[in-house]
Structure 1
């Protein structure tokens, strides 16, 4: 029974989507001068998974009433009663404990900065109730992924990982805008805010293309700041091609390929970018 509940919870928070963030965490780690230890990689992974699980637990809890009124989300575990509020609270608390254990295995500065990671998790779900900037608040969460991994190893904050974090933030904000296009009518009916709901789907998709262009430019700037090699830039080119294709899949009146754009292309984008970065770093060493 317990295993069934846990399985339901993990499916509900789309645990497998950790792949979107983990490559950026690993990039932040391997771009530190000299390679991180395996233990550092392990604890960064544990911290990332714990943090994301906590964030999704809070998101599902805070949005459960909104989800119940949306055809796309009303079959989620909380609105249907497959799991209870209490159970999600327990899973979220356990995720926080896992995250904190990992934090204390990493650089000392992490022990002071961890609230900067956690507080936006609570803030983000509420922002869609009063501002269309919610996409960028979610992006801010992702900006901390590579920067946090860098801090976890170096015990300091530097410009290059902050630029990489900004690239991750704009990438995430862009594809969150794409994803929100399918909920325009529901958001408008419930008085919720998003860029597509407030300014139109066409405007939202145009803004996404701009954000993804800026993402690519910031990735190039990251390479310049860290004096990376040709393999890294080749990875940026391939990643940019995935972003271009992602944006071509969704039209203002055609969302039939949205899942391909959202899940497949974004997973490929972050994974390929990390693999090329790793190859470049290993070649330099």
Structure 2
């Protein structure tokens, strides 16, 4: 649980529920507990694999950084071999789970795994690493919709893009903590490559885009008052996290990264699902 930071599932998992119940409420496919369980298995195992592989690949870098030296592998609580085996097992479970869902999910399972695992290499290649992380989490609503329908649809794609820009934006804020370390060790991040001030502006732009993308589904699906309240809450927390972080004081970055963003995704999903439930009964 510590190795994969299981609590961080709070970022993408609520949007997976959004994609799943969007499909149930807007198509003729009936709700099935088996599909919901399989979707959750895919979410958990894909994320476990991504995080464990990241920790495995970054173990030497983490050992050099005082902020990350306390992580499980450099601290000796988990061996690199254990982390790699854990990654492989979770990848296998993920692929097997997609086999029992539908042919499209099975066919695309290697693509999904490639995206979430390739993120771990990106910091060595390009400052666009934050966008790749966002893309990995942005697959959640798209994949969950496909679990139910076996098809793509514009609305879950909009939610996926909203997650991509939202996660990328707050990951840039999080990376401010390692700006000097990354620059000194030749690692790519937007703060290390462009400086803290420009990084914050880029993060703000990404979060404006995320808010716009959260609004756009109202032109494709019927929504009620609760949805609009969820949108306002989501936007308010995006603004809040930028107000409490400055280059002169990064002490609140952890609070921004975990608490604010976790609350944003969970509360928005709750408002969304309550709005759906006000017009639909799933069970």
TM-score (norm 2): 0.94
Paired residue for 1:179, among 174, 177, 187?
A: 174
Give the paired residue count: 276
Give the 5 Å matches for 1:79-118.
Answer: 79-118=74-113
Distance 2:186 2:237 in 1: 34
Paired residue for 1:268, among 252, 263, 270?
A: 263
Q: Deviations over 1:44-102 (max 9, x none)?
A: 11110010000001101111111111111112121122221111122112212321232
Give the 5 Å matches for 1:38-187.
Answer: 38-187=33-182
Distance 2:52 2:202 in 1: 29
Q: Deviations over 1:167-200 (max 9, x none)?
A: 0000000010000000001001101111111111
Paired residue for 2:199, among 201, 204, 208?
A: 204
Q: Is 1:257 aligned to residue 248 of structure 2? A: no
Q: Is the 8 A contact 2:49 2:87 kept in 1?
A: yes
Q: Deviations over 1:206-228 (max 9, x none)?
A: 11111111111101102222222
Q: Is the 8 A contact 1:235 1:273 kept in 2?
A: yes
Instruction: Indicate the residue corresponding to 2:18 in structure 1.
Output: 27
Q: Is the 8 A contact 1:131 1:193 kept in 2?
A: yes
Distance 1:93 1:198 in 2: 33
Structure 1 residues without counterparts, runs of 5 or longer:
1-9
Structure 2 residues without counterparts, runs of 5 or longer:
none
Alpha-carbon deviation of 1:147? 0.2
Q: Is the 8 A contact 2:3 2:52 kept in 1?
A: no
Compare 98-107 and 240-249 and name the one that shifted more.
98-107
Q: Is the 8 A contact 2:49 2:117 kept in 1?
A: no
Aligned partner of residue 79 in structure 1, secondary structure = coil
Alpha-carbon deviation of 1:39? 2.1
Q: Is 1:221 aligned to residue 200 of structure 2? A: no
Q: Is the 8 A contact 1:43 1:106 kept in 2?
A: yes
